Chain A
Amino acid sequence: MNTVNTQTNNKVRQFQQVLEIIEKHNYDKTRLITILQQVQHEYRYLPQEVLTYVATALNMPVAEVYGVATFYAHFSLEAKGKYVIKVCDGTACHVKGSSKLLDTLRGKLRLSEQKHTTDDMLFTIEAVSCLGACGLAPVMVINEKVYGEVNTKKCNAILEEILAGETAAAVDENSL
């Protein structure tokens, strides 16, 4: 099977998951937040159309579902990359140069304050407030993994490592 097919089948599976999630929760409006959490887990964000679908299935106004999805900080309405890089911009990290770290990352991935996600959907950069690891400032988190005292050199190394892993995986898949 080639990559195109894996991707599209993945999408079919995602949507089937949505159907199952809604069913599992019995079309119950009061479970909206849990349902959205699980849907987000599938897509890594909440696509508009899927939110509309959820609203229809739960028989609620779309605006209400959208209101809930935008209220909680842990929901995202934007598609995010495979690697979500959270850079702490809390006071301690700020003092220790987190803005420079942000600049470096954005420069390297050709992102900006407006553009958060790379076109190949690999990386998303988010500036967040205090991650609670001020002792390690400046701190960044990539998909749950915490990196402390990140300077430019360390930052570069981390990115290189991820990219190397990705290339290897792609080669593997093609040779199947």
Chain B
Amino acid sequence: METKGIINIDGINVPIENEKNVLELIRKADIELPTFCYHSHLSTYGACRLCVSDIDGMGIQATCSVPPRDGMVVKTNTAEVRQIRKVNLELLLANHDVSCPSCSRSNNCKLQDLTRRLGVTKVRFKKTDKVEPIDNKSWSIVHDPNKCVLCGDCVRACKEIQSVGAIEFVNRGAKTTVAPAFLKSLADVECVYCGQCVAVCPVGALTPKPETEEVWKAINDPDKYVVAQLAPAVRVALGEGFGMEAGSATTGQIVAALKRLGFDQVYDTSFAADLTVLEEATEFIQRKLKGENLPQFTSCCPSWVKFAEQYYPELLPNLSSCKSPQQMFGSVARETLPKLLGIKPEQLVIVSIMPCTAKKFEAKREEFIHEGVAEVDHVLTTEGLGRMIHETGLQFRKLTPESFDLPLGFKTGAGVIFGNTGGVSEAVLRFAYEKITGEKLAANDFKMVRGMDGIRSAELEIGSIKLKLAVAHSLSNARILCEKIVAGESDYDLIEVMACPGGCIAGGGQPISFEPDFREKRAQSLYNVDKQLQLHKSQENPYVKELYQMILGEVGGHKAHELLHTHYHGRKRITEQLLTIRDTEHPKIEVCVCVGTNCFLKGSQELLKKLMQYVTENKLEDIVGFEGQEEMVDVKATFCFERCDRGPVLRVNQHVIEHASFEKAKKVLDQEIARIGALMNA
């Protein structure tokens, strides 16, 4: 690599290559300078000031914010620098409630780790004693502001990685906190529950919502029959919570651990991923042949689905109608297992082990709950399962590997690589190739869709069909593609989206890793698992074939649709808010114009203006009835009727008008006035 100069760090010369800042060079010199607010994939914030060093001619600097220059001389270890670091750490601690023994991040907390490393033994600054409420309302994430050290990592992750911006710094000075708009709960705002904020939080202020107690309860209930499904990405990450290398594959040990914890059967979500491949690829081929609803987006990632529902309602018809593997597994298990296992349907408890916080939310979506019975009862994250294993004292690393139960535990490698960015595309291609050409695929790997670039695209010819596909991870990258599609500037056929950078292997429910290349290691490990399996193409899974023969019928057929497909709907970003423009109490006619983003973009502001004008100009606000002055028409603005794909939307009393225009609205309004006039005259 080309060298852009030399920098001297504690007496050692280090060549500058492409490092963005002095901190990266210090780390290259194998000095693990403490940092709180630095993540190489986020912008630099420079708030914690733990990375300070003495730079000749510049004085004490936060090295994360200083670009390297040839000839710099840096001292990372002077008495003054060490003192400053300690004081800064103490300041962070003063913000924190230090409830460490009961914190789920106790074994993996930067604050504890650095306090120990820097030898801070007492905190001289006054503790903030105000206890702030914990946000426990969403299904996915718990936010405890009392532990927050205000590093801002989560705020930047949400904005930069996901382009969501659900959380922000709020207030100033001593009252500063991190919170959603109006201090609402994460459950009531546009949060997509990806957990990337959790993954960067150095302390326990943002954690996955635990469901371990519910799971223990089911396991301990003798009437219940508890089965587990294990998502692909879990097997290459759980070991990290037990001191193993990033990316260690521990599938067999996890199965063994689940059995020891008391699960009755242990199955593999990858089985359902194989099913997803068949359904989704078939759907795709049909769309491609008809030229309909292209590009087709994948729909396995619940954060992406919620994101699309909130921001791109007009693209919802482009999402594959396939449920995610988690939910496909749930449906199939409910349908088949009671008979297979000889139990009553109400005895069956289905627990997923997922790398993902959003899967908890997904399991609770109303589409996946039928007559009060959820397809999946509980969702444990990888770290949650880790805590359960720790709780029992099981020596995870010493467990003898066991194998999954059949039939729902059998999978092909295609179903395993689903956990990687690019994995779903590759699995679909392995099927589509054979389906379209009728020939056997010689080499299974489609390496062009692999890798870690944020957006990757590939063009390929399968038989006589030309395909153009894209893989995006991080929703900010998905947004780039969506904008292109909405603007009519894209000709992709298939787009895979995963919200987490790297895919599920780096989901918000995985053990937290601050190792720079943990994503690559976990991803490689999944590809290795694929290699070691007997079969690599979903269409070869004998149990999937059997399931179609016995229960599902045809791929994409009626029964398959009933069990394996779903639908989406426009979704508001923030809970109930009504902009009362006049504030009347009982208007006879209420006109509510949606000013949610999608309707706004389709001109609802103009509509609102015209209606307000129409009402005031014609003095429709009030009429003099026989009881004196009465309030007649009130125009209000409201945020989102969740019909965003049909905007602008407005409502005149009970009449909802989609694709509204002023003329349409005026007509209905006039009718209402006439109707009420007639009523009053009668």
Contacts and interface: CB of A to CB of B under 8 A. Distances in A.
7 contacts: A11-B583, A52-B639, A56-B639, A59-B597, A61-B164, A62-B189, A66-B182
A50 interface: yes
A112 interface: no
A60 interface: yes
A62 B597 CA distance: 11
Interface string B82-113: 00000000000000000000000000000000
A62 B621 contact: no
A169 to B, nearest CB: 21
Nearest to A15: B581
A50 B579 contact: yes
Interface string A27-53: 000000000000000000000111111
A16 B616 CA distance: 12
B616 A9 contact: yes
Contacts of A172: none
A65 B167 CA distance: 11
B574 A5 contact: no
A65 B181 contact: yes
Interface string B175-193: 0000111100000011000
A71 B616 contact: no
Contacts of A12: 581-582, 612, 616, 635
A64 B189 CA distance: 13
Interface in B168-207: 168-172, 179-182, 189-190
Contact of A57 (B169, B190, B605): B605
B181 A63 contact: yes
B595 interface: yes
A63 B167 CA distance: 6
Given A53-B637, A56-B595, A62-B574, A73 B172 contact: yes
Most chain-B Cβ atoms within 10 A of its Cβ — which of A52, A53, A62, A63? A63
A67 B190 contact: no
B605 A8 contact: no
Contacts of A167: none
Give the size range of B's interface with the partner.
35 or more
B582 A8 contact: yes
A19 interface: yes
A2 interface: yes
B579 A4 contact: no
Contacts of A49: 577-580, 637, 639
A61 B170 contact: no
B621 A5 contact: yes
B46 interface: no
Contacts of A76: none
A70 interface: yes
B174 to A, nearest CB: 13
B170 A64 contact: no
B621 A66 contact: no
Contacts, number: 99
B609 interface: yes
A13 to B, nearest CB: 9
A28 B577 CA distance: 24
A172 B672 CA distance: 37
B166 interface: yes
Interface in B579-607: 579-584, 595-597, 600, 605
Closest 7 CB pairs of A and B: A61-B165, A67-B168, A62-B181, A63-B168, A49-B579, A8-B582, A66-B181
A86 B351 CA distance: 58
Give the size range of A's interface with the partner.
20 to 34
B658 interface: no
A56 B600 contact: yes
Given A11-B581, A19-B609, A63 B629 contact: no
Contacts of A7: 583
Most chain-B Cβ atoms within 10 A of its Cβ — which of A50, A65, A66? A66
Nearest to B170: A70
Interface string A99-123: 0000000000000000000000000
Given A49-B578, A51-B182, 7 more contacts: A9-B582, A12-B581, A12-B582, A12-B612, A19-B608, A49-B639, A53-B579
A120 to B, nearest CB: 15
B622 interface: yes
A5 B584 CA distance: 10
A48 B159 CA distance: 22
Contacts of A61: 159, 164-166, 168, 181, 190
B577 A52 contact: yes
Nearest to A47: B579
A60 B165 contact: yes
Contacts of B182: 48, 51, 62, 66
Contacts of A4: 629
Given A53-B595, A56-B600, A62-B574, A16 B180 contact: no
A175 B639 CA distance: 40
Contacts of B180: 63
Contacts of A11: 580-583
A15 B169 contact: no
B651 interface: no
A32 to B, nearest CB: 13
B290 to A, nearest CB: 34
Contact of A63 (B166, B577, B612, B621): B166
Contacts of B179: 63
B573 interface: yes
B306 to A, nearest CB: 15
B193 to A, nearest CB: 15
B603 to A, nearest CB: 12
Given A5-B621, A8-B621, A70 B581 contact: no
Interface string A114-136: 00000000000000000000000
A5 B609 contact: no
Contacts of A70: 170-172
Most chain-A Cβ atoms within 10 A of its Cβ — which of B582, B583, B616? B582
A55 B168 CA distance: 14
Contacts of B172: 70-73
A114 to B, nearest CB: 15
Given A11-B583, A12-B616, A56-B595, A63 B189 contact: yes
A8 B633 CA distance: 12
B23 to A, nearest CB: 27
B169 A67 contact: yes
